[in-house]
Amino acid sequence: MPKIKAAGDTWSARIGEKASDPQLHTVVFFCVTNGQRPYRVVQVPRTRLGGADALEALSPEDLRALFDASISMNYLST
């Protein structure tokens, strides 16, 4: 899994198992250095990112751009 440093921590990225749309991949970022951080997700068109091999081949700058576009997956208590 590719890794980047962002927001003061190290994050690993992988393609999510299920996407809400067959035309999209979900990229999930997991914090390696702090288990208390929620994971982050971003959806990417399959035409832009073909799969796990393409994710591994991204430059650090492209991976950082995906991280910057991601959102935190917190849960809401009711």
Are the beta carbons of 41 and 71 closer than 8 angstroms? yes
Instruction: Tell me whether residue 77 is in a domain.
Output: no
Band the pLDDT of 20: cuts 50, 70, 90.
Answer: confident
CB atoms within 10 A of CB 76: 4
Instruction: Tell me whether residue 64 is in a domain.
Output: yes
pLDDT, one tens digit per residue, over 33-74 is 998 999 999 999 999 999 999 999 999 999 999 999 999 986
pLDDT for position 77: 41
Instruction: Tell me whether residue 34 is in a domain.
Output: yes
Rounded CA separation 37/50 (Å): 27
- The total number of structural domains in the chain stands at 1
Band the pLDDT of 32: cuts 50, 70, 90.
Answer: very high
Instruction: Tell me whether residue 78 is in a domain.
Output: no
What average pLDDT score do residues 17-29 get? 89
| DSSP type of residue 40 | E
- Which structural domain range is residue 41 located in? 3-72
Instruction: Tell me whether residue 63 is in a domain.
Output: yes
CB atoms within 10 A of CB 62: 14
Instruction: Tell me whether residue 23 is in a domain.
Output: yes
